[in-house]
């Protein structure tokens, strides 16, 4: 199904819901605080409502837009607003390093399509060494999981992986009527600031992801049973972690410690004698 918005047919398959509320746009700009000379890329500029304000503050802006029609129309919509560099590309495949001028030099902002928001977040985390900060509009339920603390129902794999790599901060609530067409869910704006130096050193992030996926697939079980087959009970005792906890009650630091123990054990097992 499509709906015409400002001359463009909003495509459901691209998850297109265009931000139109000027108060919300002003709130995002105030929270993001763009300044001339900063190196900024916007993901999914759409019809350019936020893009126009960003250009006014920055003077120069990169945008990554998948929709060919929107990518072609943006320079005409924003003529004389500033220097707009359009990359017609899939953000999931885009190499954001090509826009960086050095470590932690790139600021990222965008209204992410809800159907692929989590994959985009993880794609950006693989390039976080060039990113200073990220400010995104996402489905409210996703942001609740991103900022969730241990011991809450929203705390899970996404919470741990993002909080291990970034400082995560809820900024704004955005109602459906702020968009055209309005989505069926509430939205929220969140800021992520990658740590220049990680708070916890993870020796093998693939082991951390595997451990979290295994545990949170059985989140109603005790930790002892949820990770049975991966983490022996004695490792939990040695780490001072209560095996009777549920996965959602284990801190980011303890998850990283368990992943490191798993990585060391598997490395020792596979090393030639």
Residue extents of the structural domains in the chain: 2-194, 205-270
Q: What is the pLDDT of residue 17?
A: 83
Q: What is the pLDDT of residue 201?
A: 93
- In 3D, which of 179, 177, 121, 128 has the Cα closest to residue 145? 121
With a cut of 80, say whether residue 272 has pLDDT above it: no
* Mean of pLDDT values over 15-37: 92
**253-269 residue pLDDT tens:** 999 999 999 999 876 66
55 to 58, 62, 134, 229: CA distances (angstroms): 5, 10, 17, 53
With a cut of 60, say whether residue 245 has pLDDT above it: yes
Q: Percentage of the chain with pLDDT > 70? A: 92
Whether 42 contacts 58, CB under 8 Å: no
* Mean of pLDDT values over 67-75: 94
Residue 124: beta bridge partners? none
- pLDDT-wise least confident of 4-8, 200-204, 218-222: 4-8
Per CATH, the number for 2-194 is: 3.40.50.150
With a cut of 60, say whether residue 242 has pLDDT above it: yes
**145-192 residue pLDDT tens:** 999 999 999 999 999 999 999 999 999 999 999 998 898 999 999 999
Token reading at 65: 């837009």
Question: 205-270: which CATH architecture?
Answer: Orthogonal Bundle (1.10)
Work out the mean pLDDT of the chain and round it to a whole number: 91
Whether 269 contacts 214, CB under 8 Å: no
**34-59 residue pLDDT tens:** 999 999 999 999 999 999 999 999 99
Its pTM stands at 0.89
The model's confidence at residue 1, banded by pLDDT at 50, 70 and 90, is very low
Token reading at 35: 């300044």
Q: Percentage of the chain with pLDDT > 90? A: 84
Q: What is the pLDDT of residue 146?
A: 98
Phi, psi dihedral angles at 65 (to 5 degrees):
-130, 130
């Amino acid at each position: 199904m499509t709906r015409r918005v400002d001359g463009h047919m909003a495509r459901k398959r691209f998850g297109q819901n265009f931000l139109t509320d000027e108060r919300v746009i002003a709130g995002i700009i105030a929270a993001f605080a763009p300044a001339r000379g900063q190196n900024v890329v916007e993901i999914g500029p759409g019809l350019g409502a936020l893009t126009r304000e960003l250009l006014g503050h920055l003077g120069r802006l990169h945008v990554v837009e998948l929709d060919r029609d929107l990518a072609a129309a943006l320079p005409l919509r924003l003529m004389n607003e500033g220097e707009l560099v359009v990359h017609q590309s899939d953000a999931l495949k885009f190499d954001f390093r090509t826009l960086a001028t050095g470590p932690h030099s790139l600021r990222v902002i965008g209204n992410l399509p809800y159907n692929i928001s989590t994959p985009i977040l993880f794609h950006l985390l693989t390039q976080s060494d060039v990113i200073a900060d990220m400010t995104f509009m996402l489905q409210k339920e996703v942001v609740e999981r991103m900022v969730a603390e241990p011991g809450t129902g929203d705390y899970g794999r996404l919470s741990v992986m993002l909080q291990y790599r970034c400082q995560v901060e809820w900024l704004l609530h955005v109602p459906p009527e702020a968009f055209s067409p309005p989505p069926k869910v509430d939205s929220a704006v969140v800021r992520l600031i990658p740590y220049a130096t990680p708070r916890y050193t993870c020796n093998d992030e693939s082991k951390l992801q595997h451990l979290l996926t295994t545990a949170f697939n059985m989140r109603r079980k005790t930790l002892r049973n949820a990770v049975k087959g991966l983490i022996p009970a004695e490792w939990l005792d040695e780490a001072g972690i209560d095996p009777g906890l549920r996965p959602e009650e284990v801190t980011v630091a303890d998850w990283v410690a368990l992943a490191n123990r798993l990585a060391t054990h598997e490395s020792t097992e596979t090393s030639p004698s």
